[in-house]
């Protein structure tokens, strides 16, 4: 192969990488899968051709999950519905750190984290698992959280429901 052919081949490869990575927004994994090479090789090619890598937020933007940058949505999901940053990240197909970053950027205050919150979060996750019909073992609940904390949590939930019912009756 002559130098000229090698230069022409590199130019075609660079153009194709720019098209797939920048224009079509494919990930390293997707490009590597199409070409039958490793992800690290794709990274080496981008470096060799001086193609700037995307940031995490640029990579996830445009895939239909820009809700993490919406202050109203973040507040509603985090405060009103009680989802954790990890749960919101799973919903949007991104990492919880991206949710954390945008919550800080948009000045969405975070909850104080207590042992009760941890227990409640696990209980909610197990309830959702049951609703989806996934297998559930009572032993899992006992190994996840202390029995006393579970009892206190259930008592608090019952008290909260009573208060809500009393308020709705008065209104």
pLDDT of residue 95: 80
Q: What is the pLDDT of residues 22-77, one digit of tens each?
A: 888 888 888 888 889 998 999 899 899 898 888 776 776 555 557 778 888 888 88
Average pLDDT, the chain: 77
Helix (H) / strand (E) containing 124:
helix 115-131
- pTM for this one? 0.39
pLDDT at 145 over 70: no
Residue 80: pLDDT above 50? Answer: yes
Percent of the chain surpassing pLDDT 70: 73
CA distance 96 to 41: 28
């Amino acid at each position: 192969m002559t130098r000229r052919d090698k230069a022409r081949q590199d130019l075609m490869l660079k153009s194709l990488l720019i098209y797939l990575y920048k224009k079509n927004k494919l990930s390293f994994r997707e490009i590597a899968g199409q070409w039958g090479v490793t992800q690290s090789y794709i990274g080496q090619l981008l470096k060799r051709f001086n193609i700037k890598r995307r940031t995490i937020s640029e990579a996830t933007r445009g895939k239909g999950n820009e809700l993490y940058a919406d202050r109203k949505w973040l507040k509603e999901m985090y405060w009103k519905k009680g989802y954790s940053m990890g749960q919101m990240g799973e919903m949007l197909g991104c990492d919880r750190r991206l949710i954390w970053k945008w919550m800080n950027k948009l000045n969405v205050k975070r909850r104080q984290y207590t042992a009760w919150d941890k227990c409640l979060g696990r209980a909610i996750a197990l309830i959702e698992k049951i609703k989806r019909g996934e297998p559930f073992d009572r032993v899992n609940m006992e190994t996840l959280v202390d029995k006393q904390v579970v009892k206190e949590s259930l008592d608090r939930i019952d008290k909260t429901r009573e208060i809500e019912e009393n308020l709705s009756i008065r209104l």
